[in-house]
Amino acid sequence: MTTIAVLGNGRVGGNLATALTQAGHDVTAVDRAPGAAADAARTAQIVINATPGAGSLDRLTALREELRGKILIDVSNATTDGPDGLPADLLYPGSSLAEQLQEALPETHVIKSLNTMLFPVMTAPGRLTTPPTAYLSGNDEQAKKTVAGLLGDLGWDPAWMEDLGDIATARATEAMILVVPHIMRRNGFTPFAVSLAR
């Protein structure tokens, strides 16, 4: 059992918190209440960033001490919103939210994953007719192995996980979000993932 803090309790965070609890982990999901995120991060072994990407850097930088030595799984995408509320452009072109977080939190092990799919797929990858891909980006190899273990608890087969390399590779998967609004405008919230076919 791992103690996990999920920052953000919207569709993404709530879905992850429920599934990880059902998998046997000790999970706390927190909203924006003052002090709640700090308390949860302080006592957790792993923290998941499921806050809106546009404000994630400021929110998590404020938790520098609480996140020291922890694994931070970043599942958010930092984008501007179009008129319909769907992603329109990247906030950090030539970089990524994950890279910005790692630079701001040098003593935290930032791992980017699960940001290339609709939220129901994160916790039920087997529901798709084609195996999806969970990409992992991060500088710490042991932290990536730990995250891969958590993904396994969520139903991800090891063959569906793709370790891309260090945290700089997150800019590639974060850029994949730009295809998502076009798919959603045609298909709504039908579950899908931007995956690697072999």
Q: pLDDT tens for residues 21-52?
A: 999 999 999 987 768 999 999 999 999 999 99
In this predicted structure, the answer to whether residue 90 has a pLDDT above a threshold of 90 is yes
Note the pLDDT of residue 168.
Answer: 98
Note the pLDDT of residue 55.
Answer: 94
Q: For the residues of 114-155, what is the DSSP string, one character each?
A: S-SB-HHHHH-GGGSSS---EEEEES-HHHHHHHHHHHHHTT
184 — pLDDT class (breaks 50, 70, 90): very high
198 — pLDDT class (breaks 50, 70, 90): confident
In this predicted structure, the answer to whether residue 125 has a pLDDT above a threshold of 90 is yes
For 86, the 3-state DSSP assignment is: coil
Within 8 A by CB and 6+ apart from 22, the residues are none
Note the pLDDT of residue 45.
Answer: 97
Note the pLDDT of residue 1.
Answer: 87
Note the pLDDT of residue 34.
Answer: 67
Beta bridge partners of 46: 4, 71
* Mean pLDDT, the chain, whole residue set: 96
For the residues 184-190, what does the mean pLDDT come to?
93
For the residues 159-168, what does the mean pLDDT come to?
98
102 — pLDDT class (breaks 50, 70, 90): very high
% pLDDT > 70, the chain: 99
For 47, the 3-state DSSP assignment is: strand
Global pTM?
0.97
177 — pLDDT class (breaks 50, 70, 90): very high
Backbone angles phi, psi at 162, to 5 degrees: -125, 110
73 — pLDDT class (breaks 50, 70, 90): very high
